[in-house]
A and B are shown apart, each in its own frame.
Chain A
Amino acid sequence: MNRRLAQLHVVGGGLGLAAAVALTLEKIAVLRDPAHVPSCSIDPVLSCGSVMDSPQAAAFGFPNPLIGIAAFAVVVTTGVAVLAGFEPPRWYRVGLDAGTLFGVLFVHRLIAASLYDVHALCPYCLVVWVVTIPIFWYTTLDTWPALAPLRRVHSAVLALWYAVIAVMVLVEFWDHWRTLL
């Protein structure tokens, strides 16, 4: 596993971990005081309150950020271990990639829910979206030699991926962005 990927794991995983911790703390604050307005509820569209209260926010019966805290911690730890000289065996890398695949699928399920069911964006969730995609993409490219041709256009694929989501967000919240201008 190369050092660049390990650095991505540390930085991206760290940001995802911070966002998951922040969301969990907000969730606890809301549970303690239902009138609590989360720090990330800025207006009706940028609002983690409505996102956290939606059924999709506990897809497996418990708050999603708990998954994030566990999973991003593994990503960060892996990155740190690799930077420290750990050379993960094949089964470890495949396992890690399977984990990031689950993460990226889950994130896209949540993007769809956020855009088309809840009609709100939660800033901490956006951080998770933004880091999960490259973590999945680069881990996958690194794990499977058969994907070598795609490595030549690695960041173009990532940019296109981000661009498609950005356009979906723009279209869905068109009225909102317009009123801000």
Chain B
Amino acid sequence: MPRTSRTNNRTVVAARSGPSLNTVLTALVALVAVVVIGGALLVGRSGDEGTASTEALFPAGAHTLSTAEDGRVTLVEFLDFQCPACASYYTGVTERLEQDYRGRITFVTRNFPLEAHPLAVPAARAAEAAAKQGAYAEMYHALYEGFDQWAVDGRSTSSDVGRATATFEEFAVAAGLDLERFRADAASEEVRATIERDVADGTAAGVTSTPTFFLNGEEFRPSGGTIADADRELRAAIDEALAG
């Protein structure tokens, strides 16, 4: 017995010198973690510039903010009404784009509410319910212009459904909608299905974040860092498509 125990002691000592089990296991865990996390992020990014068929991006019944007679240039935006980046794109890019290219391009907006934004789905429902009374564009503009009134508390994402719903109803009244019908539509199965269809189409087209734009079926990704860069690049791409 004493012998065995001495051998054991020696093994323990031996294990402690050189790269120990602990060092090896730690390195292994760190390596696996880096590979998994890094790999996931890389794969996520290389979901890359997707292309998608026009029918999937612009199905019948999808909402347009501008329609081109010739139908040559179609810009599709997947958006989340509570996403701060989308709100920045609204003020910095799409609000003026819609006016400047009215009648020359077809500008389609699709819902892509992200899970991180608890009020994105209620907002999408409000927009779809307004659409049922022919006031999609009014609600779309009101949601972004009134972003600070419902989407955020200070600088953080709001989850105050009560305040948001009340704000949406104010927007609906301001747009002259029938409030009872607006409420019923916002809660309806049909509106839920419409939003789900948008999300499914977006996912199939490789959308993972918002806003994501498709210009004539091809994903548009600004290379510049700022909203102003994105505005310039998007306009250049649209001008090129219009000229081509």
A152 contacts which of B15, B33, B114, B153 (Cβ < 8 Å)?
A: B15
Residues of A within 8 A of B209 (CB): 175, 178-179
The secondary structure that dominates the B interface is: helix
Question: CA separation between A119 and B116, bound complex, in Å?
Answer: 7
A119 in contact with B40 given A50-B156, A153-B22, A159-B29 (CB within 8 Å): no
CB pair A167 B36 closer than 8 Å:
yes
> Min CB distance, A39 to chain B, in Å?
12
B33 contacts which of A159, A178, A181 (Cβ < 8 Å)?
A: A159
A45 at the B interface (CB under 8 A): yes
Question: CA separation between A179 and B44, bound complex, in Å?
Answer: 10
CB pair A177 B41 closer than 8 Å:
yes
Residues of B within 8 A of A181 (CB): 41, 44-45
How many chain B residues have a CB neighbour from A under 8 Å?
A: 34
CB pair B156 A120 closer than 8 Å:
yes
A156 in contact with B116 given A49-B155, A178-B45 (CB within 8 Å): no
CB pair A156 B29 closer than 8 Å:
yes
CB pair B116 A175 closer than 8 Å:
yes
CB pair B155 A37 closer than 8 Å:
yes
B154 at the A interface (CB under 8 A): yes
B32 at the A interface (CB under 8 A): yes
B157 at the A interface (CB under 8 A): yes
- Chain A interface residues toward B at CB < 8 A: 35, 37, 41, 43-45, 47, 49-50, 53, 119-120, 152-156, 158-160, 162-163, 166-167, 170, 173-179, 181
Supply 15 further A-B pairs (C-beta < 8 A) apart from A120-B156, A177-B41: A35-B154, A37-B155, A44-B84, A44-B152, A44-B155, A47-B156, A156-B25, A156-B26, A159-B25, A159-B26, A160-B29, A162-B33, A166-B33, A170-B40, A181-B41
